[in-house]
Chain A
Amino acid sequence: MFWKSMSLRSKLVLLSMSGIAVLALCFLVQSFSQEKEEMVRSQRALELQADIFSQKSGEIFKDFYFDVQRLSASSIFLTESKEQVSNLLNQFVLNNKKYDAALFVDGLGRFQAANGISFEGRPLQIKNLEGRTYSDSVWFQKAIKGEFSESPAQGLTGSFVEDVNIDSISSALYGTTQHGLGFSRAVYGLNGSILGVLTLRASMRPFTDELSRQLQTLQAQNYLTSHLYLINSSGLVLSEAASPERFARITAGSNADRILRWNVSTQQGQQAASDSVRGRSGFIFEADRLDKNTRAWSFQPIKNNGFLEDLKWSVIVSAEASDMASDILAQRLWLGAAFIVTALSIGLITYGFSRTLSKQIADTLLRVKEEGRSLSDFCENFSGELRRAGSDSVERNLFIRSAAAEVDSLSVLKDESLGFVSQSREHVRSLADRSTQSEQAVQRVSIEIALAQRANEKISQLESSLAEASRKVAQLNEIVFKAKLISYNANIESSKAGIHGRGFVLVAQELESLVDGTDVILKEILTELSEGKTVLAEGAVAIRRSLSDSTLLIEDIVSKMADAKREFDALAEGLDVAHTAMETKIPSVTGVRDTLRAVEESLIHSQALMTDFGKVIHSINETGVRIDDLSQALSVSIKGGRVRQRSRRVGQPSGSGATLSGRASELDSELVRSDVVDRLAQKMRPRLVVEAEAEELDVNTEPRDSKDLRAG
């Protein structure tokens, strides 16, 4: 309501101010992130500087080592002449400004010689060294025992490094404690015996020079203040600062503990400094410590390429990076002011153009409203058509799903049928083979039957032979009968002859007995023959009956087997044809199934399209409502109802400006319509393509009637 009650000019001003505020907020966030990035960058630069400083200090230590090694190898020590050794030490100190003093003590630790030349204007009190014994000192014991700190692999064996912060030699030479380094090394004779120990007191000049060089580098990096510290386990050794007045305040007392306490007030900083002395590097970033500025501290142990492990020396690099942050803040403020001015200018210019622009917007909105209404009507009609199409598509989708399921089941059924046909074809082929084997067996049986028929013929011949034998036996029986009658007649004749016929009686009786025996034999033969004939006749009859039956049966079997073989062959050919047809039909079924699936997907796609289009229509309707609201708001906001009058004029073709705006709105509406039509055509293209494919494959994509659908 508040927004609607505001005028268009006030709205534009308010929008401009809001944009300016957002831009300012973005610049502030960006400046903070830039500051943080700058701090991180300075931190990394400081760490790099500390690392370089450490490397340089390590090289200084390495030079010390080489010097003491070279000096201890001098042959002058073999002369055992104190004067010559003193001259050697004087010459060495003069040539190497890095050393304050050089001493030589014998194997028992007694002072023997030293350089007698003052160093940097400070007189050396050599006399204080006379008669002293250093056999109990740490450096002497270490040098004699060969307990060295450096790695033998570096070729720097034989030197003992000593912190000489508080040392008796320093006290004797300088009268005060002196921070520095001591290098001790045993000097060996020709037979390998130890002649004594050479010790060098190093100056801090190389470190001071290096501190200066590093400080110059830090100054070149636009740090506001830079501080370099060289510390060891005893405390602060050296320090340099880019701002001497501040450093004077900082280094008051020149005590490492105080320095560390002062510099690193936090527990984290103290831990970092302690770790640095122990050989571990550290870094802290400290803010609001000194003059509300930001300071970074980097703690780095001196690195000596690994050959100086026990030397607990470290470097500390400190720098204040807050000046750069201040510059960034100033730059940021300037940029913000420039943006505010620019935004105000843009707001004024926008206010100036708002009136003209509001008129054109009002005209355009009216045209858009009218076109929106016509488009809304068109969309409603089209929505109705789409709903009908959606219902049709739902029905088609159901039909296509059912058809796809049927096609799937048909495909499965065809696969099973194909397998069954293949098995049946194999079975039929095996049956045909068995039929062929049975035919061969029947042929063999026919051969056996032919042989049996031959045997039957033999039996017939045997029967005729038996009949002939029976006939012969019958003839023989008649003969026997006649012979028997003859014997009877002989007996009769002999009986008639009386006594004279007794001999003939014997003959007649013998003949009778012979005839009787023959008759018995003949009867037996006749019986045998008759029995054999009977058995043979019965066997022949049975064989003939069985032969006839077998022949008839085999002929019947042969005919049936021939019929079965023909049927098997026909069935096998039919199965082959069915198999080939099914194999050729299955890909088509698969293609139909794929087509149905594609049609289903296209329908789903069309449904989604319709849903999207419904949303589009809804959004168009909402847009129309918003256009109405906007036009009403414009009518309210534009003063004096001039906008409404102009908007009425826009509907008339009299004004040139109204004509141009009307043409523009018509072009816009035509473009919108053509765009909608193009999108619809693009989304409906896959469905049209699928329907064309379905028509090519002769698949009915029309929905079933309601009864079929309910049955499905």
Chain B
Amino acid sequence: MNTDFPKSTEQRDKFLLFKCHGELFGAPLGVIREIVPFQRPLRVPNTHKHYLGIVNIRGDVVGAIDLRFWFNDERISTKVIESQALLVVESQAGLMGIAVDTVVGISELFEQEIETPTGMPEMITEGGMIGIGKFTHGLATLLNLRALCIATDVVSEHKERRVS
């Protein structure tokens, strides 16, 4: 279990709901430093596809990643949608910006309302997912953005192979 997740079952936790490539996601509000308008990232050579590049947020160089490529799911719509915002997340790896299409809003959710999909315990523990939350907007995939930031590989496999 993620220690950043609120423990109290009576407390209602706040989640930031956002859309990325047409899918609704949610993230605990506590892991998000701030939300800034999307900036065109500066591409960094020898990085993965989901690593968009780096951006300057009030003097801090922040890397930006794309969740679709990060999830490595080709089923997600390939339609290029211009991202509107960057969710700046403080992780152990530093600040990381996650490009999202749009911010839907902030909603509260009890812990018992978070459910774990059947047959996906590893995805929750290792894939950075918290569970599935039921919101008025619909089902949303709740993500542990810090874990995602830690687990993200920046250098591409091609670089790795060349280095090796």
Interface residues of A (CB under 8 A from B): 481-482, 484-485, 488-489, 491-492, 495-496, 512
Contact = CB atoms under 8 A, between A and B. Distances in A.
Interface string B62-98: 0000000000000000000000110000000000000
A481 B101 CA distance: 13
Contacts of B32: 492
A520 to B, nearest CB: 13
A485 B16 contact: no
Given A482-B37, A488-B35, 7 more contacts: A485-B103, A488-B106, A492-B32, A492-B34, A495-B29, A496-B30, A512-B106
Interface in B106-138: 106
Contacts of B35: 485, 488-489, 492
21 contacts: A481-B37, A481-B84, A482-B37, A484-B103, A485-B35, A485-B37, A485-B103, A488-B16, A488-B35, A488-B103, A491-B14, A491-B29, A491-B106, A492-B16, A492-B29, A495-B14, A495-B29, A495-B30, A496-B30, A512-B105, A512-B106
Query: Main SS of chain B's interface residues?
Result: strand
Contacts of B150: none
Contacts of B151: none
A481 B103 CA distance: 10
A484 B104 CA distance: 10
Interface of B: 14, 16, 29-30, 32-37, 84-85, 103, 105-106
B11 to A, nearest CB: 11
Nearest to A485: B35
Contacts of B29: 491-492, 495
A538 B32 CA distance: 47
Nearest to B84: A481
A117 B108 CA distance: 203
A492 B105 CA distance: 11
A226 B85 CA distance: 182
Nearest to A493: B34
Nearest to A487: B106
Contact of A485 (B14, B30, B33, B85): B85
Nearest to A478: B37
The CB with the most chain B CB atoms within 10 A, among A495, A496, A512, is that of A495
Contacts of A489: 34-35
A442 B97 CA distance: 69
A286 to B, nearest CB: 167
Nearest to B31: A492
Contacts of B85: 485
Contacts of A491: 14, 29, 106
Contacts of A512: 105-106
B141 to A, nearest CB: 19
Contacts of B84: 481
Contacts of A485: 35-37, 85, 103
Nearest to B18: A488
Closest 3 CB pairs of A and B: A495-B29, A485-B35, A489-B34
A354 to B, nearest CB: 164
Nearest to B16: A488
Nearest to A516: B105
Nearest to B14: A495
B105 to A, nearest CB: 8
Nearest to B32: A492
Nearest to A488: B35
Contacts of B14: 491, 495
B73 to A, nearest CB: 26
B29 to A, nearest CB: 5
A189 to B, nearest CB: 176
A512 B14 CA distance: 15
A507 to B, nearest CB: 14
B139 to A, nearest CB: 21
Nearest to B106: A491
A482 B103 CA distance: 11
A226 to B, nearest CB: 174
A627 B85 CA distance: 159
A491 B33 CA distance: 11
Contacts of B37: 481-482, 485
Contacts of A488: 16, 35, 103, 106
Contacts of A492: 16, 29, 32-35
The CB with the most chain B CB atoms within 10 A, among A481, A482, A492, A495, is that of A492
A485 B32 CA distance: 12
Contacts of B30: 495-496
B119 to A, nearest CB: 33
A447 to B, nearest CB: 51
A482 B36 CA distance: 8
B36 to A, nearest CB: 7
B13 to A, nearest CB: 9
Nearest to A505: B14
Nearest to B29: A495
A491 B16 CA distance: 10
A492 B36 CA distance: 12
Contacts of A482: 37
A481 B37 CA distance: 8
Contacts of B106: 488, 491, 512
A481 B34 CA distance: 14
A705 to B, nearest CB: 103
Contacts of A484: 103
A411 B103 CA distance: 103
A117 B142 CA distance: 207
A495 B6 CA distance: 12
Contacts of B105: 512
B100 to A, nearest CB: 11
A496 B33 CA distance: 9
A519 to B, nearest CB: 11
A227 B105 CA distance: 181
B30 to A, nearest CB: 6
The CB with the most chain A CB atoms within 10 A, among B14, B33, B35, B37, is that of B35
Contacts of A496: 30
A464 B36 CA distance: 32
A399 B105 CA distance: 118
A53 B29 CA distance: 184
Contacts of B103: 484-485, 488
B49 to A, nearest CB: 27
A485 B105 CA distance: 10
Contacts of A481: 37, 84
A481 B36 CA distance: 10
B143 to A, nearest CB: 16
B81 to A, nearest CB: 15
A50 to B, nearest CB: 165
A495 B34 CA distance: 12
A490 to B, nearest CB: 10
A496 B28 CA distance: 11
Contacts of B33: 492
A516 to B, nearest CB: 8
The CB with the most chain B CB atoms within 10 A, among A484, A488, A489, A491, is that of A488
Contacts of B16: 488, 492
A512 B107 CA distance: 12
A559 to B, nearest CB: 55
A482 B85 CA distance: 10
B24 to A, nearest CB: 16
Nearest to A482: B37
A485 B33 CA distance: 12
Contacts of B36: 485
A489 B32 CA distance: 9
